[in-house]
Structure 1
Amino acid sequence: MIGFARTDRSALGQWWWTVDRWTLAAVIALMFVGAILVLAASPAVATRIGLDSFYLVRHHYMMLPAAAAVLIAVSVLTPRQIRRLGVVLFFFFLALTAMTLGSGMEIKGATRWISVGPLSLQPSEFLKPCFAIFTAWMFALQRTEVPGQRIPGNLISIGAYLATVAILIKQPDLGMTVVITATWAAQFFVAGLPIFWVALIVGCGVAGLIGAYFMLPHVTDRVNQFLDPSTGDTYQIDRALEAFSHGGLIGQGPGGGTVKLNLPDAHADFVFAVAGEEFGMVVCTLIVGLFAFIVLRSLLRMLGETNLFVLLATTGLVTSFGLQAVVNMASTLHLMPTKGMTLPFISYGGSSIVAIALGVGMLLALTRKRFPGSQDI
C-alpha cells in the first residue's frame, strides 16, 4: 500500500488511510484518459494555428504534475484548514475576476483572462470552488447557536452570490454564472431553505435565463442555432456529431480520427467528440461513468455527516464539478446550446486543470474519514 502502514502517524500516512481511495483512483483515471485524448486531439489544432505539433501536448503534460501536486497537497488538509484556505482564496480570486473587467485579455468577445507572466489565467475557474467553500461556511454560521450573537450568514452568502454573478455577467460568462448559481442554490436548499424560497429562486433563475436570451447577443445566437440550425453557423456541432457517427461502438482507433483535423476546439470544448470518434461509445460511456462515480461516491460519503459546513461544502463542490462535466458533454452531443466549458481533467488545460485539481482536492479533504469528536472541523 505505497509504503504506508496503518500505524504510520505522519500526515501522508494518515491521509492514505483516511482519504477515499476509490474516488482518488477515479480522478487519476480521468487524468490518464485526458492525457491520451489531448495527445490525440492537440497536434492537429497546434498545426492549424501555426504552432509546433506537440506544443499543446507538452504544455498540458507540464501542467499535469502541478495539478496532481495541488490535488494531493489540498486533500491532506483538515476541514478547518480547507475552510480557511477557501475563504482567503475566495476574496483573492474575486478581486482578480473583477480585475478582468478593466485589464483582462479579450478572447472571442469575452474578457475572462489575465496575463500572469507567460501564462493566461482565468480567475473565475479558481473562484468557483472557493465560492462553494465560502457560502457553505456562511450558511453553516447562520445555523450556529452562539449565545448573544447572531451571524446573518444567509444575507452574507446572498451578497457574495450577487457580487460574483454581477462580475461574471459583465465579462460575460453565462456558463460560469449558471454553474455558480446551481452551486449556491443546491447549498441553500440543503441548508434548509423553505419551499417558498426554493420556488422563488427557481423562478428568478428562469427569468435570468430569459433575460440573458434577450439582452446578450451571443446567448441569443447560440439558443437560436440550437432550436433552428438554419439560423446560424453550426459547423463545430455538425463536425462533433459526425465524429460520434464515425466512431460507432469501438471507434476508429488511437490516431485514426479525421474529424479533429477540421474541428477548431477539438482539444478543449469538443474533446469528448474526439473520444467518440477514436475510441467509440464504449470509452465515452466509461468517461461518463467515471464522472458519475465521483459525484455519487462523494455524496454517499456524506450519509451520516453531522458537520453542516462539511455537508454543504461537499454539496457545492460536487454540484460544480458534476454540472461542468454535464454541460460540456451535453453541448458536444447537441443536447443543449453550445457553451465554452472544458471537460474536467479531460480537456487540454493550462491553469484550468490546476483550478479543477484545487476543487477536487478540497472535495477529497472533506470526504476523508474522521473519528468521532475530532476537533479538526
Structure 2
Amino acid sequence: MSSTTPTRNSFTRTDTSVLGRWWWTVDRWTLAGLLALMGLGALLMLAASPASVARIPGLSNSFHFAQRHFIFLPAAVALMIGISLMDIRTVRRMAVLGLAGSLVMLLLTLAFGDETKGATRWINVFGFSLQASEFLKPFFAVTMAWMFATGKSDAAFPGQRIALGIYLVVASLLLMQPDLGQTILITAVACVQLFLAGLPLIFVGILFLLGLVGLIMAYLTLPHVTARIDGFLDKDSGNRYQIERSLDAFKNGGLMGQGPGEGTVKAQLPDSHSDFIFAVAGEELGLIVCLVIVGLYAFIVLRGLARLMNETSLFVLLACAGLLAQFALQATINMASALSIIPTKGMTLPFLSYGGSSLLALALGMGMVLAMTRRRFQFGDPL
C-alpha cells in the first residue's frame, strides 16, 4: 500500500461523510482551546473538591464535586461537538425553541424552585439541580440576533420591537429570582448586538439606562447586593472575608504556584470549587498558568471574531458576536471578582468552575459558535 494512501480512520479532504465534512470545516483551533479549558477545569476540580467537601456537613467523599464534574464533562464535550455538526437553520430553530423552554423553566423555578441564600434560581428535575438561566443565555443571544437581522432585511417585520419585548420578559424574570449578574450579562449582550446591527443608538441607550436603574434598585432593595458593593467600596466594612482569602491565595501562589493539591487557602475560602476556582488556580498553579488561562479565553474570543471578519450573513455575525461577548464577559466578571477589581458576583468561570448547568449551557453556546463559524462552501472546493 502506498504511503500516501489514507488510513481507514483518517479524514481526507475528499471525505464527504458528516464527520469528514465537519472536520475540514470546523475551526479546529477554537475547538482545541475549548478542550484545553475543560482539561484545566478537570485538574482544578480535583484540587478544590476535598476542601469544599470538608466544609459541607453530610458529605464524606472528598472527591464528591470532582466525580460529579467528571460525569457532566463527557456530556458537555459530546453536546458541543454534536451541536457544531448542525447547519445554521437548525441552530436558529433550536435557539427559538430553547428560549421558549427556558422561559417556561424560569417560571417553574420561581413557583417551585429551591431558595438558596435569598435567591430562587434552581429547580430539581429528576434529581438534578437545574439552573434555567444558564441555558437561557445562549438561546437568548441567538434569538435576539435573528430578530435584529430579520428586522434589518425586512422593513415590514417588527424585529426590534419583538427583541425589546423578549429582553424585557427575560430581564424581569431574572430580576424576580433575583439574579442581577445574569441580568447585567444579557443586557450587555443585547447592547453589543444592537450596536453591530447598526440600529439607532437610542436603543442601546434605553437598555443601558434600564440596566443602570436595575443596578440602583438592586442596591437599594437587595441586602446581599448592598453588602457586596459596600464591601468593595469600603475596605473596612467587614464584608470582605471571601475576597481577602482569594487575594491571599494569589499571594501564596506567586509565580509558579504551590503545586496541584498543595494549596491551603482553599480550606478557608467558601465556593472555592465554583465562584473562586480562579483563586485555587492562582495558589496552586501560579501566575504563569493564570496568564495561560486568561490567554486561552482571549484566544477563543479573538479567534471567533476573526472568523467573522468576512461574514456576509448579518444573523451569523450578530449571533456569534453575542455568544462570544457573553463568554468573554462571564470570564471577565469571575476573574475580576476574584482579584477584587469589581464587587464579588456569584458567576461561574467558563469550563473551569463546578456546575452541571453552567458546563452544559456553555458547551451548548460554544457548540453554536463552532457550527456558525464553520466554513461554508460547496464540498470539493479548495479549502
Counterpart in the other structure of 2:365: 359
Counterpart in the other structure of 1:89: 98
Q: Secondary structure at the match of 1:120?
A: strand
1:271 paired to 2:272: no
Counterpart in the other structure of 1:202: 208
Q: Structure 1: which amino acid aligns with 2:112? A: S
1:156 paired to 2:165: no
Shift of residue 5 of structure 1?
Answer: 1.1
Counterpart in the other structure of 1:316: 322
Aligned match of 2:146 in 137, 147, 150? 137
Contact 1:70 1:357 in 2 (8 A): yes
Shift of residue 100 of structure 1?
Answer: 1.1
Q: Structure 2: which amino acid aligns with 1:102? A: A
For residues 280-308 of structure 1, give each alpha carbon's deviation from its aligned partner in whole angstroms, at most 9, with x where no partner exists: 00000000000011111101100011101
Counterpart in the other structure of 1:228: 234
Counterpart in the other structure of 1:24: 31
Gaps of 5+ in 2: 1-5
Shift of residue 239 of structure 1?
Answer: 0.5
Contact 2:227 2:239 in 1 (8 A): no
Shift of residue 21 of structure 1?
Answer: 0.5
Contact 1:89 1:127 in 2 (8 A): yes
For residues 38-78 of structure 1, give each alpha carbon's deviation from its aligned partner in whole angstroms, at most 9, with x where no partner exists: 00011111122131101111110111010011001001101
Q: Using a 3 Å threshold, how does the CA distance of structure 1 residues 166 and 204 change in structure 2: closer, same or farther?
A: closer
Q: Structure 1: which amino acid aligns with 2:358? A: S
Q: Secondary structure at the match of 2:199?
A: coil
The whole-number CA distance in structure 2 between the counterparts of 1:339 and 1:230 is: 19
Within 5 Å, which residues of 2 pair with 1:102-251?
A: 102-145=111-154, 150-251=156-257
Q: Secondary structure at the match of 1:143?
A: helix
Contact 1:331 1:338 in 2 (8 A): yes
Counterpart in the other structure of 1:299: 305
Q: Structure 2: which amino acid aligns with 1:96? A: M
1:348 paired to 2:357: no
1:70 paired to 2:79: yes
Q: Structure 2: which amino acid aligns with 1:91? A: A
Q: Using a 3 Å threshold, how does the CA distance of structure 1 residues 109 and 257 change in structure 2: closer, same or farther?
A: same
Contact 1:93 1:123 in 2 (8 A): yes
Q: Secondary structure at the match of 2:374?
A: coil
Q: Secondary structure at the match of 1:291?
A: helix
The whole-number CA distance in structure 2 between the counterparts of 1:138 and 1:125 is: 21
The whole-number CA distance in structure 1 between the counterparts of 2:218 and 2:303 is: 34
Counterpart in the other structure of 2:12: 5
Shift of residue 372 of structure 1?
Answer: 7.4
Q: Which has the higher mean CA deviation after the structures are superposed, 58-67 or 347-356?
A: 347-356
Counterpart in the other structure of 1:15: 22
Shift of residue 220 of structure 1?
Answer: 1.3
Q: Structure 2: which amino acid aligns with 1:272? A: F
Q: Which has the higher mean CA deviation after the structures are superposed, 187-196 or 201-210?
A: 201-210
Q: Structure 2: which amino acid aligns with 1:206? A: L
Gaps of 5+ in 1: none
For residues 173-199 of structure 1, give each alpha carbon's deviation from its aligned partner in whole angstroms, at most 9, with x where no partner exists: 000001111111111111112234434
Q: Secondary structure at the match of 1:206?
A: helix
Shift of residue 350 of structure 1?
Answer: 1.6
The alignment yields a C-alpha RMSD, in angstroms, of: 1.5
Shift of residue 101 of structure 1?
Answer: 1.0
Q: Structure 1: which amino acid aligns with 2:262? A: G
Contact 1:135 1:157 in 2 (8 A): yes
The whole-number CA distance in structure 2 between the counterparts of 1:222 and 1:47 is: 25
For residues 113-171 of structure 1, give each alpha carbon's deviation from its aligned partner in whole angstroms, at most 9, with x where no partner exists: 110112100001000000011111101110123xxx71100000000000000000000
Aligned match of 1:101 in 87, 106, 110? 110
Aligned residues: 370
Contact 2:297 2:331 in 1 (8 A): yes
The whole-number CA distance in structure 1 between the counterparts of 2:202 and 2:116 is: 40
Q: Secondary structure at the match of 2:153?
A: coil
For residues 196-234 of structure 1, give each alpha carbon's deviation from its aligned partner in whole angstroms, at most 9, with x where no partner exists: 443443344333322322232221111001000322321
Contact 1:63 1:351 in 2 (8 A): no
Q: Secondary structure at the match of 2:123?
A: strand
Q: Secondary structure at the match of 2:11?
A: coil
The whole-number CA distance in structure 1 between the counterparts of 2:96 and 2:204 is: 26
The normalised TM-score by structure 2 is 0.94
Contact 1:70 1:354 in 2 (8 A): yes
Contact 2:53 2:62 in 1 (8 A): yes
Shift of residue 348 of structure 1?
Answer: 1.2
Aligned match of 1:47 in 54, 73, 78? 54
The whole-number CA distance in structure 2 between the counterparts of 1:213 and 1:328 is: 20
Q: Secondary structure at the match of 1:231?
A: coil
The whole-number CA distance in structure 2 between the counterparts of 1:66 and 1:263 is: 29
